[in-house]
Copies of this chain bind each other. A is one copy, B any other.
Amino acid sequence: MSDAALWAALADPHRRAIVALLLERPRPVGEIVEACGLSQPSTSKHLRVLRDAGLVRVRQDAQRRVYALDPAPIAALDAWLAPYRRLWNDSLDALGRRLDDSEEPPLSKD
Interface of A is mostly: helix
Q: How far is the CB of A2 from chain B (nearest CB, A)?
A: 13
Q: Beta-carbon contacts of A75-110 to B below 8 Å, as 1s and 0s?
A: 101100101110110111000000101001101101
Residues of B within 8 A of A20 (CB): 110
A74 near B99 with CB under 8 A, answer no
Interface assignment of A37: CB less than 8 Å from any CB of chain B = no
B105 near A84 with CB under 8 A, answer no
Number of interface residues of A (CB under 8 A): 38
Chain A interface residues toward B at CB < 8 A: 4, 7-8, 10-11, 13, 16, 19-20, 23-26, 66, 68-69, 71-72, 74-75, 77-78, 81, 83-85, 87-88, 90-92, 99, 101, 104-105, 107-108, 110
A and B contact pairs by CB, cutoff 8 A, 9 listed:
A7-B11, A7-B13, A10-B11, A19-B84, A20-B110, A23-B83, A66-B101, A71-B87, A75-B92
